[in-house]
Structures are given as structure tokens and as C-alpha cells.
């Protein structure tokens, strides 16, 4: 997944630094400085900057340098930007935004999936629901997390909307973050697991209403769980 080459290394260093606010808005990066700082050639520096520019993290102007753009300009849907922000000081804000996005997208995705899921997807979904139930009881959070991510990714994919499908990585990141940071209970709440079963059943039964309601309960629940750890939910 990581980008290769020297420009990739630059990117992996500058990107998080900017996304976390370590390099603040308005700061100016000069090519020559970066060359000497990282001991690489202009070629490499320029390519890294082009990528950051495509993400709208920076903008370069002649005679001025490459300036870090304000947050509002950032391409907040870029997978790398999301990851970098999750790794840094912006983590709470990013989790909150993603939580809101989940609340919006996942219920609709579940409803659409109820009309479109193939028999195979349906089987897979049911199997994952069973696995969730089992691993929730056994308390193996690692494995539980894996199945949880797979479950949500499958629903998003089964929705038939390519843009929804592309959110699965971001959703995965949120779920991972919850298990890592937040004090997830040793045994996931039984009612949440039941809701996952409900979603799977409703989709397989081609019942959009029920699928949407159950999924909405899951994601709003997750968002509320998250709120306290984010400080001012305001």
C-alpha cells in the first residue's frame, strides 16, 4: 500500500507532518531546503510536492515557495489524507467527520443492498454475522474487528454504488481506531451484535426498510459511543 521510491518517503514524512498540523497553515517549504534536508534531488522533491498539491495540502507559487493550505482546502476524501489525519493530532476531528459520514451512508447502503445483494453476498453476510456472534462471546477482539470490518465493507460493496464501496477503507479505519484506542468492552455489546444479524437477515430477505433501520441503529450507536472520547461533541 505504501508508495515506493524516494518521493514516497518524502511524502510519508511531509504528508503526516502537514495533516497533523505540525507544519502549520501558511508555512512555506522551499524546494532547495527540502533537497538538502532529505538529501535527495530536485526531481524527487518536485514529485512529492506535486502529489501534495493534488491533495490540496499545499500550493506552490513562483518566487514564493510551496505554502501549506488551510484545512478547508484539503481534499478530505483522499485516503492518504484521511489516514494521515487519523495518525496525528487531527484524529478526533477526523473520527467525528467519518462517524457522521457513516451515519449518512451506511443505512442507505444497507437499504440498497437489500435490493441488489447476490446470493453469494447474502451467504457471506450471514456467515459474518454468525462469526461476529461467536467471537463476541469468546472475547477475541482482534478477530471480531476483522469480521466487523468485512461485514461493513461487504454491505457497502453490495449496495452497488461504487462511491459507497470506496468508503470501506475509511470505515475500516474508524472501526480499527475504536478497538485500538477506545476502551472497547472485552465483550462487544450483545445488542450491537444482534443488530448486525438483523441487518444481514433484512438484506437477505430483501427488506430495505428493516435493513436501513438496523444499520442506522448500529452507526448512530457507534457515533454516540465515540462522542465522549472526542471531548466537546458540541
Contact positions vs a copy of itself (CB under 8 A): 7, 43, 46-47, 50-51, 53-55, 71-72, 75-80, 93, 96-98, 100-101, 103-105, 107-109, 112, 159, 161-166
DSSP 23: S
C-beta of 91 vs 187, nearer to a copy of itself: 91
Q: Which of 13, 17, 25, 60 binds DNA (CB under 7 A)?
A: 60
Residue 62, interface with DNA (CB under 7 A)?
yes
Residue 46, interface with DNA (CB under 7 A)?
yes
Given a contact cutoff of 8 angstroms between Cβ atoms, the answer to whether 19 and 84 are in contact is yes
* Grid-cell match 501534495, residue found: 52
Least separation in angstroms between CB 33 and a copy of itself: 19
Largest Cα–Cα separation, the chain = 63
Given a contact cutoff of 8 angstroms between Cβ atoms, the answer to whether 114 and 207 are in contact is yes
Which residues from 108-167 bind DNA, rule CB under 7 A?
Answer: none
Where residue 207 falls (left for φ over 0; alpha for ψ -120 to 50; beta otherwise) is beta
Given a contact cutoff of 8 angstroms between Cβ atoms, the answer to whether 197 and 129 are in contact is yes
Least separation in angstroms between CB 90 and DNA: 25
Least separation in angstroms between CB 31 and DNA: 3
What span, in angstroms and rounded, lies between the C-alpha atoms of 81 and 117? 31
Own/partner pairs, 173-181, CB within 8 angstroms, 24+ separation: 173/82, 173/83, 173/86, 173/98, 174/95, 174/98, 174/99, 174/102, 174/222, 175/145, 175/148, 175/149, 176/145, 176/149, 177/86, 177/91, 177/95, 178/222, 178/225, 178/226, 179/141, 179/145, 181/229
Least separation in angstroms between CB 130 and a copy of itself: 28
Residue 68, interface with DNA (CB under 7 A)?
no
Return the one option of a copy of itself, DNA, none that residue 31 interacts with (CB less than 5 to 8 A, by type).
DNA
Residue 42, interface with DNA (CB under 7 A)?
yes
Residue 27, interface with DNA (CB under 7 A)?
no
Least separation in angstroms between CB 84 and DNA: 20
Return the one option of a copy of itself, DNA, none that residue 164 interacts with (CB less than 5 to 8 A, by type).
a copy of itself
Residue 186, interface with DNA (CB under 7 A)?
no
Return the one option of DNA, a copy of itself, none that residue 71 interacts with (CB less than 5 to 8 A, by type).
a copy of itself
Q: Residues in the site for DNA, rule: CB under 7 A? A: 5-7, 29-32, 39-44, 46-47, 49, 60-66
Amino acid at each position: 500500500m505504501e508508495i515506493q521510491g524516494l518521493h514516497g518517503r518524502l511524502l510519508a514524512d511531509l504528508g503526516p507532518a502537514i495533516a497533523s498540523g505540525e507544519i502549520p497553515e501558511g508555512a512555506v517549504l522551499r524546494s532547495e531546503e527540502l533537497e538538502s534536508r532529505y538529501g535527495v534531488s530536485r526531481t524527487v522533491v518536485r514529485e512529492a510536492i506535486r502529489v501534495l498539491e493534488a491533495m490540496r495540502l499545499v500550493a506552490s507559487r513562483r518566487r514564493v515557495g510551496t505554502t501549506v493550505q488551510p484545512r478547508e482546502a484539503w481534499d478530505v476524501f483522499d485516503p492518504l489524507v484521511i489516514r494521515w489525519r487519523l495518525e496525528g493530532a487531527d484524529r478526533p476531528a477526523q473520527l467525528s467527520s467519518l462517524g457522521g459520514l457513516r451515519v449518512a451512508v451506511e443505512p442507505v447502503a444497507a437499504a440498497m443492498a437489500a435490493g441488489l445483494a447476490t446470493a453469494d453476498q447474502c451467504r457471506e453476510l450471514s456467515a459474518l454475522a454468525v462469526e461476529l456472534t461467536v467471537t463476541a462471546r469468546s472475547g477475541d477482539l482482534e478477530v471480531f474487528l476483522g469480521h466487523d470490518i468485512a461485514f461493513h465493507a461487504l454491505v457497502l460493496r453490495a449496495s452497488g454504488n461504487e462511491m459507497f464501496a470506496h468508503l470501506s477503507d475509511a470505515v475500516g479505519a474508524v472501526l480499527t481506531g475504536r478497538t485500538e484506542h477506545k476502551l472497547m468492552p472485552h465483550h462487544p455489546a450483545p445488542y450491537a451484535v444482534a443488530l448486525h444479524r438483523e441487518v444481514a437477515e433484512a438484506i437477505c430477505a430483501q427488506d430495505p426498510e428493516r435493513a436501513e433501520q438496523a444499520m442506522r441503529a448500529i452507526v448512530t450507536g457507534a457515533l454516540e459511543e465515540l462522542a465522549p472520547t472526542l471531548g466537546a461533541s458540541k
